[in-house]
């Protein structure tokens, strides 16, 4: 898979899955815009490790529609064009119904849907408009979750946001295909990232690892590889597909 001459914007690209996505695209010749929200140092550290370049750092709060638009426009302005968007930015907030106040419940839904779904939708809109204007098509890859299928009882807003992302992706796949823009989804289970570190290190960690017959959770590079594959030449007819990367910990029909 060669991405020489291609440009990529990775939201949530400063760490975890996003950092590995940025690295794998850069290793294959792409110019990468690494997005961050509040941790610029992490974004700088990520860009410093990427081969090739010049790469770019962009900032936005994904809940800020104007900020998302500026992020995409900045990436296009500095990179010259935008070929691939990877919507990876996301949050996970525990909010079990019986244990949180009504105010906390509302806040969890507002923040989670605003970041994971609406923010991703706005980024896809802005990126796709540029791709259509450019006239050479492109790719949009959305990072979802197995939680969209199996449910997230302690964080229902998270599961709903990822289910919404799946539906949005398939709708966009049908709409954008005539414009030569193809949309794919990667749905991981637990991944060895900062977001999951505390629970994987807790007494629940062994049970989580045992959910897969491989006896472990995914590595960031395994999730990133699926995203890179969906963005590659030759994967066009997979538009609308959702690839599970969960080590057979959750199998759906």
Query: Could you tell me the residue range of the domain that residue 147 belongs to?
Result: 7-243
Annotation says 36 is catalytic? no
CATH number at residue 114: 3.40.50.720
Q: Is the per-residue pLDDT at 176 higher than 90? A: yes
Residue 29 lies in a domain: yes
Residue 249 lies in a domain: no
Q: Catalytic: which of 158, 175, 225, 250?
A: 158
How do residues 113-137 score in pLDDT, each as one tens digit? 999 999 999 999 999 999 999 999 9
Q: How does strand 7-10 pair with strand 84-87? A: parallel
Residue 198 lies in a domain: yes
Residue 181 lies in a domain: yes
How do residues 38-91 score in pLDDT, each as one tens digit? 999 999 999 999 999 999 999 999 999 999 999 999 999 999 999 999 999 999
At 252 the pLDDT is: 94
Residue 34 lies in a domain: yes
Tell me if the pTM is above 0.85.
Answer: yes
Residue 69 lies in a domain: yes
Residue 1 lies in a domain: no
- Span 98-102, average pLDDT: 98
- Number of domains making up the chain: 1
Residue 183 lies in a domain: yes
């Amino acid at each position: 898979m060669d991405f020489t001459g291609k440009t990529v914007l990775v939201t949530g690209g400063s760490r975890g899955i996003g950092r590995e996505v940025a690295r794998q695209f850069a290793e294959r010749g792409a110019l990468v815009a690494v997005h961050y929200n509040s941790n610029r140092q992490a974004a700088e550290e990520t860009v410093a490790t990427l081969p090739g370049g010049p790469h770019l750092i962009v900032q936005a709060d994904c809940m800020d529609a104007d900020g998302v638009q500026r992020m995409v426009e900045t990436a296009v302005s500095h990179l010259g064009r935008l070929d691939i968007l990877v919507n990876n930015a996301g949050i996970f907030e525990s909010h079990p119904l019986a244990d949180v106040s009504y105010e906390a419940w509302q806040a969890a839904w507002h923040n989670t849907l605003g970041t994971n779904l609406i923010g991703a939708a706005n980024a896809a809109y802005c990126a796709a408009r540029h791709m259509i204007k450019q006239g050479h098509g492109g790719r949009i890859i959305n990072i979802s979750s197995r939680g969209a299928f199996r449910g997230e009882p302690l964080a229902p807003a998270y599961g709903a946001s990822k289910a919404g992302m799946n539906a949005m992706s398939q709708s966009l796949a049908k709409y954008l295909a005539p414009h030569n823009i193809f949309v794919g989804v990667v749905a991981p289970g637990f991944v060895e990232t900062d977001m999951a570190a505390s629970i994987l290190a807790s007494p629940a960690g062994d049970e989580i690892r045992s959910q897969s017959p491989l006896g472990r959770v995914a590595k960031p590079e395994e999730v990133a590889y699926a995203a890179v594959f969906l963005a590659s030449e030759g994967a066009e007819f997979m538009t609308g597909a959702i690839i599970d990367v969960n080590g057979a910990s959750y199998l759906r029909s």
